[in-house]
Amino acid sequence: MRRTTASTCCYCGVGCGVLIEHDADTIHGVTGDPAHPANYGRLCSKGSTLHKTGDPAARALYPELRLGKGMARSRTDWDTAMQHAARVFGQTITDFGPDSVAFYISGQLLTEDYYAFNKLARAVVGTNNIDSNSRLCMSSAVVGYKQSLGADSPPCSYEDIEQSDCLLIIGSNMAYAHPVLFRRLEQAKSLDPAKRIIVVDPRRTATCELADVHLGIQPGTDVALLHGILNLLIQQDWIDETFIQTHTGGFDALQSLVGEYTPEHVAGICGIDPEALRQVAQMIGTAPSFLSLWCMGMNQSSAGSAKNSALINLHLATGKIGKPGSGPFSLTGQPNAMGGRETGSLSNLLPGHRDATNAKDRAEVADYWGIEALPDSPGLSAIELFEAVRRGKIKALWIACTNPAQSMPDQTLIREALALCPFVVVQEAFATTETCQFADLLLPASSWGEKNGTVTNSERRVSRVRSAIPAPGEARADWAIACDFAQRLEKQLKPDQPSVFGFHQPQTLFDEFRGLTAKRDLDYSGLSYQLLDALGPQQWPFLPGAERGTARLYADKLFPTIDGRARFIADTYKTVKEQQSTDYPLILNTGRLRDQWHGMSRTGTAAQLFGHVDQAQISLNPADIDRLELHDGQLVRVTSRRGKLVLPVVADEQLQAGQAYIPMHWGDRFLRGGGVNVLTQPAFDPMSGQPELKQAAIRIEPV
Ligand code: SF4
């Protein structure tokens, strides 16, 4: 009999509600949930084809184990698989200490999965070596929010898109990466043409079609641009002195710094017209409300934290924060990168927006978990973690729901590390990912449509994810795998102590986790599965007794810092790590396409989603194609300091001369020689650990 189950889309951070039409074991269709406040029934091409993806032939169905490198894996049963994993991890920890093992997890896990892995790493193993692919996605925004506003809490709501008079979209091709929100912006602009939209992006993307002004800056020059805008706001007296004096600190140092960023100086750095900069400053300075939206163009940078803070400075200087239509609003890349941040799924964090380096925070979590102490040695961020694997410092690695052999920068380094690691566990729904080939133990996990739990979207809205059909083969839920392993490891490492892992369903994980948010900035201790079922998705904070969540933060102008004031951050502009040179004269940018998702393990199984772009290709400005004496469609060799790739070249007017673009999605399955990350660099932001995935110097030659 056919039924409908309400759930949430598993792709981007918009977090659209979906209605799954299914029978006992097959999903037949997906439509947008008209009652979900993230999308009110809208879906993009990816969400509306969810039921056509996830080819059963691509799924991991049974545990598979090999007892030596170079051997083929063979099917085993869950008990043997988990006992083996517990024995190897347990022995490694006993012989080499807790920091000799690590977990690398995913922004596509549900909050309950994340929480189970965090408690496993911190409470059972005793290591902070747990990082997530959110490190590649939002960690610069985390630093930006924390150092400027005091907590990693995006203050805005999607309704601010309609309410804002002036929107700055910077480092985001929202039309492709967050399509349902972009449709909302299109509609808002058509109803109110006076709404001003500024797009800052080195490429003239589809998002620019809605822009009143497009600033095509040189890659990586955002900090100079933002300081230049602030300098003009100050000079023209478009700042809010009262707000600055009463609710912020650090303005004088910043004012003195940005004085150097004159329009002409900034125009020279950014490669733009100084008059366009003045026009943008005027739009922001004179608009009653001002909203900024950003994504990977700001975050995936060796200066990602500085970019985030420089943007937040504009809101603090104008007092345009905590009001309808105003505030800094990061667009989350992955469906539950927010849930990962909430549960502490970066090596430097702990559950409830706590810090692993803060003794009081560690003591609070240890006390809540009923254990003596949490580890105080710093954990490794993603790039550091894989470098430590390659150096032999980490000897057992557990990877869940992510594909680092394709998605991490400098793919050769990452694959060397995976090949050298004595024991690699890969917990995955799809057996086809590039990382699976490195698994000594492959554990089949359930996927979208088969899992229960919660996710948090970009506007802090917690939504239920519900299963419609059972998982295929012997696949298990991610949280259940983590909990099973944790219980077995407890018996190995702490046989005389009571278990802290008595979880038998995701709701018990959710209930324990929400207790750790109590009295924190993200307090959603008042939320429960029952309330989410009754009220629908809710934005945190959601305190006990609340009737609804909180649409906007900082309306009271009180920030979660020691003195209640926000902070201006004065970072100088720094150039990108890898400059163009005679040998590598072009700058490569990477990013998403409209109809594909990450490494294509799901979207790559639906023919319909190849209708937009059907193959990997490198885009160049037509003038560069002429200069290099190439022609459209010709195969070229693309070379960086780290690797080579052969691709067809296409002319693309979106790109400025000297720049190139390759989509992030294609990997070994579709492109011989690996994907774009053969070329990208492992440089990362020292504050956030986020890699500079969007800039690498390359050269192009005919094959
Ligand atoms: Fe899914 Fe994002 Fe598309 Fe919404 S906008 S349907 S969340 S991919």
The residues, ordered by sequence, that sit 6+ positions from 22 with a Cβ below 8 Å of its Cβ are: 2, 3, 4, 5, 28, 449, 468, 469
Region 65-72: mean pLDDT is: 95
pLDDT at 546: 97
Measured from the Cβ of residue 699, the count of other Cβ atoms closer than 10 Å reads: 18
Q: Work out the average pLDDT over 186-213.
A: 98
Q: Whose alpha carbon is nearest atom 2 of ligand 1?
A: 12
- pLDDT tens digits, one per residue of 554-610: 999 999 999 999 999 999 999 999 999 999 999 999 999 898 888 888 888 888 998
User: For 586-680, which CATH class?
Assistant: mainly beta
Alpha-carbon gap, residue 363 to 370, rounded angstroms? 10
For residue 181, report the distance from its CA to the centre of ligand 1, in Å: 9
**Tens digit of pLDDT for each residue in 395-438?**
999 999 999 999 999 999 999 999 999 999 999 999 999 999 99
Q: 3-class DSSP state for residue 372? A: coil
Q: What is the pLDDT of residues 447-480, one digit of tens each?
A: 999 999 999 999 999 999 999 999 999 999 999 9
pLDDT of 669 > 80? The answer is no
Token pair, residue 296, equals: 């990977």
Fold: same for 64-137+337-463+472-527 and 586-680: no
80: which DSSP letter? H
Q: What CATH class is the domain 139-331?
A: alpha beta
* Class at the top of the CATH hierarchy for domain 64-137+337-463+472-527: alpha beta
Within 10 A of 563 (CB to CB), how many other CB atoms are there?
Answer: 9
Distance from residue 51's CA to the centre of ligand 1 (Å)? 14
For residue range 141-176, what is the model confidence (pLDDT) as tens digits?
Answer: 999 999 999 999 999 999 999 999 999 999 999 999
Instruction: Answer whether residue 672 shows pLDDT above 80.
Output: no
Specify the CATH class of 3-52 in words.
alpha beta
Across 34-49, average pLDDT:
97
From the CA of 38, how far away is ligand 1's center (Å)? Answer: 10
Atom of ligand 1 nearest to the CA of 8: 7
Local confidence band at 40 (pLDDT 50, 70, 90 cut-offs): very high
Nearest atom within ligand 1 for CA of residue 457: 7
Nearest atom in ligand 1 to the alpha carbon of residue 12 is 2
Mean pLDDT of the chain: 96
DSSP E strand stretches across 130-277:
130-132, 166-170, 196-200, 213-215, 248-249
Read off the DSSP letter of residue 430: B
Residue 18 Cα to ligand 1 midpoint, Å, equals 9
- Strand pairing partners for 444? 428
Please check the confidence at residue 671 and state whether its pLDDT lies above 80. no
Taking the CA of residue 181 as reference, the ligand 1 atom at the shortest distance is 5
Q: Which atom of ligand 1 is nearest to 32's Cα? A: 6
The ligand 1 atom at the shortest distance from the C-alpha of residue 48 is: 6
Please report the pLDDT score of residue 605 as a whole number: 84
Beta strands in 109-212 (DSSP E): 130-132, 166-170, 196-200
List phi, psi (to 5°) of 521. Answer: -60, -30
Q: Does residue 249 have a pLDDT over 90?
A: yes
Q: Which atom of ligand 1 is nearest to the CA of 180?
A: 5
Whose alpha carbon is nearest atom 3 of ligand 1?
44
**Residue to mutate, 8, 12, 51, ligand 1, most ligand atoms under 8 Å from C-beta:** 12
| Alpha-carbon span 566 to 560, nearest angstrom | 8
Q: Which atom of ligand 1 is nearest to the CA of 179?
A: 5
For residue 674, the model assigns a pLDDT of 81
Across the range 530-551, mean pLDDT stands at: 97
Q: What is the reported pLDDT for 56?
A: 87
User: Is the separation of the CB atoms in 335 and 11 below 8 Å?
Assistant: yes
With a cut of 90, say whether residue 642 has pLDDT above it: yes
Centre of ligand 1 to C-alpha 301, Å, is 25
**What per-residue confidence (pLDDT) applies to 654?**
94
Residue type, 190: S
Q: What is the average pLDDT across 111-118? A: 98
Ligand 1 pocket test target in 14, 334, 592, 595 with most atoms within 8 Å of CB = 14
Atom of ligand 1 nearest to the CA of 14: 7
Contacts of 438 (CB under 8 A, 6+ apart): 405, 415, 418, 419, 421, 424, 426
Q: Give me ligand 1 centre to Cα 449, in Å.
A: 15
Spacing, Cα 643 to ligand 1 middle (Å): 33
**CA distances for 143 relative to 370, 379, 539, angstroms:** 30, 16, 21
Using one digit for the tens of pLDDT, what is the confidence trace for 337-364? 999 999 999 999 999 999 999 999 999 9
State the distance from the centre of ligand 1 to the C-alpha of 347, rounded, in angstroms: 28
d(CA 393, CA 397): 11
Instruction: Compute, in angstroms, the gap from residue 14 CA to the centroid of ligand 1.
Output: 6
Expressed in angstroms and rounded, the spacing between residue 356 Cα and the centre of ligand 1 is 33
Q: Which two tokens stand for residue 211?
A: 């822009």
Query: For residue 397, how far is its CA from the centre of ligand 1 (angstroms)?
Result: 31
Q: For ligand 1, atom 4, name the residue with the nearest CA.
A: 16
Half-sphere exposure of 132 (CA within 13 A, CB side): 33
Provide the angle, in degrees to the nearest 10, between the axes of the packed helices 274-286 and 263-270: 110
Span from the CA of 155 to the centroid of ligand 1 (angstroms): 21
Q: Quick check: 668 pLDDT over 90?
A: no
Residue nearest to atom 5 of ligand 1 (CA): 180
Ligand 1 site, CB within 6 A: 9, 11-12, 14-16, 39, 43-44, 46-47, 178-180
- Enumerate the domain spans of the chain: 3-52, 64-137+337-463+472-527, 139-331, 586-680
